[in-house]
Amino acid sequence: MVMDARTGEVLHSRNADTQLHPASLTKMMTLYVAFQAIERGEITLDTPVTISRLAASEPPSRLGLREGQTIRLRFLLRAAAVKSANDAATAIAEAISGSEDAFATRMNRTARAMGMRNTNFRNAHGLTQSGHLSTARDMTVLGRHVIYDFPQYYNLFSRRSADAGIATVRHTNRRWLDSYEGADGIKTGYTNAAGFNLVASAQRGQERIIATVFGGSSTAARNARITELMDMGFNRAPAQATIRPPNAPAAMLSSATGNPQLGNAGKTIRVSGVVTTSIRPIARPLTTTAPPEEVLMAAVDADIINAVIADSVNAALAEALADVAVEPVVVQAASAAVVTPTVRPAEPAETVVAALEPPEVFNSEPEVVTRISTSGGRHWGVNVGRYNTRHDAERVLLQVALSEMSTLDGSLRRVTQRSGGFDANFMGLTREGADLACRRLQARGTTCFMIGSDG
């Protein structure tokens, strides 16, 4: 199976819907559900997890956990993603849902919400079990969700080694990651029943390809086949394509009443800048006796991002130039229709900022701020190129923002007209943040240099 990750277009498939043993590809879903739980505040990266007898007794690959031991969740995530540790995967499941069975129920509900129609999970690690099956198509879909729904965690899958608390673990597929240009993940899997499986992804410039292989006869044969499929994908994919991230499913809580290990964990929700339909935080009410006007914001499907850009320009200008406050009300939509928000003047006592914003564009003014920032005294930025038209600059800003959310989150997207064209800038960063963002973008082949607050 070969897919253009930007659009979800299938570029090649063969036996893509045949149910097979996924082996440790399963851990992509284990980690996805864990990322959801962290985002919802059900658990934190630093929550101590007590290891059960079941988790400690899982067969290799293992981190080496012992019954009764406590370890922070972040180390279990690293061990599962990098080393494919089975004991870590079971410990994650029990920490979030109380039992592996309850966690498997949540995995299956999440899979259905993603459209994974031919997958059934029975455990969190992927060891062979009756009825534990998936397909190349479903695993490719899951890999795409991992990339776009949680970009802040995706780097876990490309780490050649990681500190897992009690040991330093090494990646299960270092050789292919080092040999294939642009490779940055995602997950290997092997059991006797499954053979050698791999869901891989690589990015070259603006192109990103995902390929999946089931049932390889050896590591070398699997890697050779995945290389052929990735090359096919880059040859067939268009050089330019509008990024259409998948719609992230809402968290599918298991029927378990909760895990006593979590106690009174805080409910801090980490909001990414990718527009999705996942559950988002509700803003605190305004301190006023009159009922506030509502801002109705529909779930935005990224495949109509250009329409959103065009329809939201007036709201973007009002926010940037009139210092307004808006209060979000998330509504469920039967389809990805866009409802234009209404804007209410800010009250001096309090400003409430919308938790989600649709992408914005600019009008014909020389300079327009397209995203409200709370960066305070951050006076640095990065330039990602000069373009012949304002439209080209806007598109590049949106594409870069989607691909580099971990360092650019909270920054201003700004297009500035110069004599030679239109500069595409991200402003409102610290010097260290701007330097890190530039280095990461340059590593991907994106032109970038730091700029001061004057642009």
- The catalytic site residues sit at 24, 27, 84
Residue 132 structure tokens: 């534990």
Burial letters for 70-79: b for 16+ Cβ neighbours within 10 Å, e otherwise?
ebebbbbbbb
| Element of type H or E holding 166 | none
The whole-angstrom separation of Cα 156 and Cα 150 is 11
The whole-angstrom separation of Cα 196 and Cα 184 is 19
The whole-angstrom separation of Cα 2 and Cα 235 is 11
Query: Can you list the positions of beta strands (E) in 174-278?
Result: 183-191, 195-204, 207-216
Q: Which of 174, 241, 175 has its CA nearest to residue 208?
A: 241
The whole-angstrom separation of Cα 246 and Cα 7 is 8
The whole-angstrom separation of Cα 429 and Cα 377 is 9
Residue 259 structure tokens: 């895990």
Residue 200 structure tokens: 């891989």
Q: Which of 272, 240, 276 has its CA nearest to residue 4?
A: 240
- Alpha-carbon distances of 323 from 144, 348, 361, 369, rounded to whole Å: 37, 11, 17, 12
CB atoms within 10 A of CB 243: 20
The whole-angstrom separation of Cα 23 and Cα 368 is 50
Partners of residue 119 on adjacent β-strands: none
